Structure 1
Amino acid sequence: MRALFFLVFLVISGGFSFAQTHNVYEISFDNAVHHEATIKARFSGLENKVLELRMSRTSPGRYALHEFAKNVYNVKATDSKGKTLLVTRPNPYQWNVSGHDGTVVVTYTLYGNRGDGTYTQIDETHAHLNIPATFMYAPRLALRPIKVTFNVREDLNWKVATQLKHLEKNTYYAPDLHYFMDSPTEISNYSLREFTETSNGKTYTIRFVLHHKGSDADLDTYVGKVKKIVEQEKAVFGELPDFDFGTYTFLACYLANVSGDGMEHRNSTILTDVEGLAEGGMENNIGTVSHEYFHAWNVERIRPLPLEPFDYTAANMSGELWFAEGFTSYYTNLILCRAGIITPEAYVEGLSGTLNYVWNSPALKYFNPIEMSYQAPFVDAARSVDPVNWTNTFVSYYSYGSVLGLALDLSLRNHKKDLTLDGYMQLVWKKYGKTEIPYTVKDLENTLAEYAGEDFATNFFTNYIYQSNMPEYQSLLSTVGVNFEKAKPDTPYLGAYVRSAEGKTMVVSNPHQGSPLYKAGIENGDQIVSIGDYIMSDTTNISDVLGELEVNNTVTVVYERNDEKKETIMELESDPAYKTTLLELQDKKLSKAQKESRERWLGKK
C-alpha cells in the first residue's frame, strides 16, 4: 500500500520517469565537539523548475509532531555547475530551490544533541542519527533509491552500524525514502556480536551493536539474554519476519550522555539508556530489548491501516495502538519469564503495577482503548507548556493494551484448552503480517471470531474495546494459580502523589477524581500542613501517618494554597491498590489444573 501511494504521487507530480535516479547524501562530523554535522545532498534529473525540500515533522515509531527543522541552518544551494541558486522558505519546514539546471546540490549545517530514538546526537563519543531528524528530503522524489555516505571520524575509531544496505566503504543504500527515514544509524567505536537464526529455510544474521564503556564479558552475557528473547519471540509467531537484506540489527547505546528510550524499525531498533551493563543495565535494559524486537512483527509488519502510508508532514493517529503497543507491552515481560531471564514470581508480582494503574483510573469513564490510542499525538514524547489533566483523563495505551492482552490470553486459555494469545497472534500474523496488509480494529475482531468463535470475539470487543469495562481479573488469574486481592485493605490512601522536601509536604499531582483528597477539595500544588493530629515536616513520612489512621474515619486537614491557610474535612477510604502473588507463596495449595495452566502460560516454548 505504501508503494502504491508513492507511485500514484510520482505519476501526478511528473517525476515518474526519474524514479530510478539516486538521491545522494553525504554527512561529515568535523565539528562534532560542538554537536554540528555538515550535510550535502544532490538531487539530479529534475524536471520541475522549483525543487521542494523539507525536514520531517514526524518520525517512524512516534506519533506526535517533532519540529526537526529548528536545528537546520546555513542552507545553500547550487546547480551542477556550482552556480548559486535562490532558496526561499514558504513555511517553517520547507525550502524551495529555483532556477536549477536539472540538478540541485544543497548543503546545510545540522545541530543535534539528544541521543534517543527520535532525535540526533553528535559529539566526540558518537554520531547517533535518527534519519528524519538529520536529512532534508524531496517529497516528489519519494520513490527514488538513496545513497548515503557517512564520513566517519577515523581519529575517533568510528564505524557505521545501520539497517541500510552496505554498498562499499562507508556508503549505504536505501530502496526508497521511507526505508531511508526508517533506518537509524549509530556511528561510534562500538562493540559487535552476531548470531544466526533459521526460519522457513532461510538463515538470518542478528547483530547486536553496543556503544558502551563496559567489558566484553558483560556484553557476552547480555547478548546471551538477547538470543533467548529472539528465540522465544520467534516461538510466539512460529517464524521470523523475512528481514530485508537478511539481517536484523540492535543499535544499543548505554552511556551517560544519552536519554533512555527504545524505538522500533523494520529491520532494527534503537536502544538507549544512561545505565551501562555493570551499572544496572544488565537487568534494567533488557525489557526494552524484548519490547522493541517484538515490534518486528507487531507494528512493523502487522501494521495499523491509519499508519499507512506514514505521514512525514503531520501527526500520525491510530485507534489500534492498544493492540500495536499494548499487546507488545503484555509480551515484554512474559517473554523475559519464558526465556528464564526473570522468575515466574517476579513476573506475576510485576503485573500489579500496570493492573492498578489501569484498574483504578478515572479515565476509563471518558475513553475506551481505541479513543485512548487517539491521544498518542499529544502524549508520545510530545511537548506542551500548559498543564493537563491526564491523571483523570488518560490511561496509556501501552498499559491499557497490556492488561487487555493479559485478559484475552487467560480468557482464551479458559475458553478452550488449545487456545492461547500466541495462537491468535499467529493467525493475525499470517493474515496481516506476512502479507503486509494493513489492518483495522474490525479486522482484529473478525480474526478473533475466526480463531475463538463469534460469540467470544463479540463479547470481548463489545465489553473491553468498544467500551471501557474491566475483565474479571480475580477469576482469570485464579485459573493459573495467581491471587489478585487488595494489597492494604485496612490502610487509608490520599489519591495523589505527595512529596516532602525542605520542610514542606506538597501535593505534586492532580488528585484522582473521587479520591479522598479530591473530595476534600485539595489540589495539585497545595501544601499539606497537618492531617488530624499529625504535623507534616521533613521527618514525617506520609506512609507512616496513613498507617496510624483508620479507614472510614474523618480527619481535619490543614493546607496552604497561594500563601493562604485553609482547612477541610477528609473522609478516609481504603487503599484501592491490588497485589498479584503466586498462590503457593500464601501457603495455599496449587491444584494440578492450575499448575499445568501456569506452565503452559509462563513456560519456555
Structure 2
Amino acid sequence: MDLVAYRVTFPQPGAHLIHVRLELTATGEICQLWMPAWSPGSYVLREYARNIRTLAASVADSPREIRKISKDRFELAARPGERVVVDYTVYAHDLSVRTAHHDASHAYLHPPQVFLVPEGHAGPFRVAVELLPGWSAISLAADPAAQERRSPGHFEVDLPDLDALFDTPIEAGNLSVTNLPAPCEHVRLAVWGEPIPEFVLPRLAHVVDQVERFWPARPYDHYTFLVHAAVGARGGLEHLAGSVLGVEPESWAPAARRVQAGNLDRDDDSETGVYDLLELASHELFHAWNVKRLRPRALGPFDYGRENYTRELWIAEGFTSYYDGLLVLRSGEISVKAHLQRLAESVARLRDTPGRLVQSLEESSFDAWVKLYRPQDDSPNASVSYYLKGSLVALLLDLWLRELRPTGSGLDGVLAELWRRGPDGRDTRGPGTTNTYSYPGFTVEDLEAILGEQSGLGEVPGVIRALWAKPTDLDFAPLAQLGLRLSEKPVQPGLIDPGFTLQDRGGAAWVEFVRTDSPAERAGLASGDELLAARRLDGNWLRLRSARAARVWDHLQPGAPAELLISRRERVLTLPIAFAAARGAPQIERIEDADPAARARFEAWSGRRWSDP
C-alpha cells in the first residue's frame, strides 16, 4: 500500500497545540479517518478524538468538506488516486504516560491521541517532526538505527504497520540520551526534565540485566526507557521495544544528597525514591515479555475502537507487579529488609480493601474498563486491584510450588514454560508486529495446565484456583517455608481507627472514602461530607482541619461514645459514633531460629544470602 505520512509541528507551544498534517492517496470514493479510543496497557476508553480542536482537508489541492460521522470517525469524498491532505490540531496538556503533552520544553507524542488513520490502511507510515530550536527527538522504535533519521531541526521515523504506529511514542524537546553501562549497552535512557543522578545508571543496569536473565530469551535487539522526570509525572506504560516512565525528581533527592556528601553506604531512609524508580523500570521492562508478547488472548491484535475484554489481567499485571520488586531484590539493588517491608505494605493495602471479599481477580480483570481506571467513592468497598491482589496471589503460587517441589524454580519455571509454549521461537525483534501477534495468546486454562504439571499434581486444586476465581481472603502462613513470618506491629493502646479517609481541600477535611462495615458507615458518614469538629460526649468540641486531624483523634477513645460535626450539602449535622480500635500494620520478618532448609529456600527464592541486611 502507499505510504501514509504525518508531519508534526508546534505553532504555539504555550497553547499546548500539536499541529498534524496527514497526507495519503485515496483508494475509494469515500475516505474515512479514525482515531483510537484507548491505549494498549491502559484499559479504559479515553476517547482520544475529543482532543481534536480544528480539522480541515483538501483533495487535489482544493478545499474539501470533512464531516464527523461518529465520536472518533470522519469522512470526505475523494476519487481513487487523488492526493488527500488533512490538517488538524490536537490539544495536549495532560502529563501522563497514556496521553500527549506539549509545552515550551517538550512534546510527548502519544500516538493513539495524535494520529488519525485512514480506514483500511495497515501501513507503512512515516512520522516527521519539525523540531523547535534546541530540541532533539527520540522514539521507541524497535530498530532505531534503521527506522530513525535526524537532520538539523528534523526527525523522522518509519513504521511498517498499524500496531507499530500506535506502539511507538515519540519524545521531542530538551532531552538527555545515554546508553546504560555494561552489560546493557543495548538499552537507551532518554530523559526529559530533571537529570537522573549518575549513580543510578549502573544500578538500573543491574536490574535490567536481572530481568533479561529471568526469561529464556531476549525478544528485542534494542530497548528504550523514555523518562519524564518532572513534578506531577508518574506511572509507566509498556511498549514492544521500550516504555515510558513518569517519576518525581524530588524522590531521589535524599539519595543524591547522601552520595554528594561522599557517603556511599546506602540506607533505606534515603533510598525510597531510587527503589521506586528501579521497581517501576523493572515492571515495565518485564512487560516486554509478559503482556507485549506473552499476553492474554484478547490483547493483540487489538480492536482500538472498543473494549477488549479479558479475565487474565491479574496474570498480566499481577505477576508483573510481583516480579518487579523480586527481581530488584535479586539484583542486589534493594535491601532485604526494605523489600520485605514493601511486601508487608502490599499486604496492608489489601487488608484495608473490603472489595477483596466482593470481587474475584477474574472479575476485576474483566471489569477494568469500568472500575479500576474509573474509581468512585465506593470503589474500595466493591472492587479489588488486579495489580495488588494479583501480585500477592503470585507470591502464594510461588510458595505453593516451592513447597511441593523444594528444588524446583517455583513460579519462575511456570512463566518460562508458558513462554516456551507461546512466543518462543517467533522473531519479534524487528520493527513489524506480524510475528508478535501470530501467537494467539494464552488463557487462564493454559496457565492452570502448566501449574498442574509444574506442581506434580497434574491439576490445580480447588483451593488454589479459588485464589483468582473467587473473592477469597489470602493466607500468608506459607511464608514460613522461607523462614519468614507475617505479624502485626503493636500499636499504642487507645488509638482509634477512623474507618474513613480524608481529602484536603484548602485545609478543610472532607471525607473521601468510608469503609464498609465500619462504625463510620454505621453512623451514616458519607463521602463528600466535610468534617467540622469532633468530641467525646463528656468533652469539648475540637475543630477539625486536615493538618491536625491526628491530634483530634488522639482525644478520642475506642468504643467510647463520641460525636462528629459535619457539613453536608451546606447543612450542619451531628453524628453519634463509637470508633473501633486501631490495628497494627502488617510486617514481614525473618524468623531468627529458622532451620537451615528454610534459609536455603529463602536464598533460592530471593537470590540473596540469609544474613544480608
TM-score (normalised: structure 2): 0.84
Distance apart, 1:430 and its partner CA: 1.3
Aligned twin of 2:599: 595
Which amino acid is 2:418 matched to?
Answer: V
Q: CA deviation at 1:118?
A: 1.1
Q: Give the superposition deviation at 1:542.
A: 5.2
For residue 16 of structure 1, what is the aligned residue in structure 2?
none
From 235, 243, 249, the equivalent of 1:275 is 249
Please point out which of 218, 223, 227 is paired with 1:248: 223
Change (3 A) 1:566 1:253: closer
> CA 1:32–1:597 in 2, change beyond 3 Å: closer, same or farther?
same
Q: How does 1:18-417 map to 2 (within 5 A)?
A: 20-44=1-25, 46-79=26-59, 81-102=60-81, 103-142=83-122, 144-153=123-132, 155-163=133-141, 165=143, 166-169=147-150, 170-195=155-180, 205-214=186-195, 218-240=196-218, 242-243=219-220, 246-256=221-231, 259-275=233-249, 279=253, 282-382=274-374, 387-417=376-406
The CA deviation at 1:159 is 2.7
In 1, Cα distance between equivalents of 2:58 and 2:442? 44
Q: CA deviation at 1:578?
A: 4.3
Partner of 2:514: helix, strand, or coil?
A: coil
- Which residue identity lines up with residue 442 of structure 1 in the other structure? E
In structure 2, do the counterparts of structure 1 residues 511 and 140 end up closer, same or farther at CA, with 3 Å as the change threshold? same
CA distance in 2, matches of 1:54, 1:479: 55
Quickly say closer, same or farther: Cα 1:68–1:417, change in 2 above 3 A.
same
How many percent of aligned residue pairs carry the same amino acid? 23
Could you report, residue by residue, the CA deviation over 1:271-315 in whole angstroms, capped at 9, with x for unpaired residues?
123325753654442321111111111110111112232221113
RMSD of aligned residue pairs (Cα, Å):
2.8
Cα deviations across residues 63-89 of structure 1 (Å, max 9, x unaligned)? 11112212223322222x312222111
Q: d(CA) in 2 for partners of 1:495 and 1:328? A: 31
1:212: Cα distance to partner? 2.9
Deviation, 1:122, is: 1.6
Residues 538-557 of structure 1 mapped to structure 2, 5 A cutoff: 543=550, 553-557=559-563
Residues 68 and 252 of structure 1, relative CA distance in 2, 3 Å threshold: same
Query: Per the alignment, do residues 595 and 260 of structure 1 end up closer, same or farther by CA in structure 2, a change over 3 Å counting?
Result: same
Letter in 1 for 2:565: Y
The residue aligned with 2:267 is: none
* Residue 262 of structure 1, CA deviation: 0.7
Is the 8 Å Cα contact of residues 556 and 569 (structure 1) preserved in structure 2? yes
Preserved CA contact (<8 Å) 1:501 1:538? no
The total of aligned residue pairs comes to: 561
Residue equivalent to 1:426: 416
Instruction: Output the CA distance in 2 between the equivalents of 1:544 and 1:532.
Output: 17
Judged with a 3 Å threshold, the aligned counterparts in structure 2 of structure 1 residues 208 and 604 are, in CA distance, closer, same or farther, namely farther
What is the 5 A alignment of 1:491-570?
Answer: 491-498=495-502, 506=509, 508-524=511-527, 525=529, 527=531, 528-533=533-538, 535-537=541-543, 543=550, 553-562=559-568, 563-570=571-578
Deviations 1:554-600 (A, max 9, x none): 42334335333324242x5444554123235xxx4232222212111
Q: Distance in 1 between matches of 2:573 and 2:14?
A: 52
Q: Secondary structure at the match of 1:484?
A: strand
Structure 2 partner of 1:442: 445
State the alpha-carbon separation in 2 of the partners of residues 427 and 532 from structure 1: 63
Separation of aligned partners in 1, 2:111 and 2:51:
13
Query: 1:12 — aligned with what?
Result: none
Which residue of structure 2 aligns with residue 487 of structure 1?
489
Q: Could you tell me which amino acid in structure 1 is paired with residue 525 of structure 2?
A: I
Deviation per residue, 1:199-221 (Å, 9 max, x gap)? xxxx982111112333xxx5432
SS of 2:198's equivalent in the other structure is helix
- Three-state SS of the structure 2 residue aligned to 1:187 is strand
Deviations 1:344-401 (A, max 9, x none): 101111112221222343213321101011221124544x8xx541021011111010
Structure 2 alignment gaps of length 5 or more: 255-272, 427-438
Say whether the 8 Å CA contact 1:303–1:433 is kept in structure 2: no
Change (3 A) 1:554 1:255: closer
Q: 1:74 to 1:53 in 2, by over 3 A?
A: same
| AA in 2 matched with 1:353 | E
SS at match of 2:393: helix
1:558 and 1:27 map into 2 onto residues whose CA distance is 57
Task: Kindly provide the amino acid, as one letter, of the partner of residue 485 in structure 1.
Answer: S
The 3-state SS of whatever aligns with 1:299 is: coil
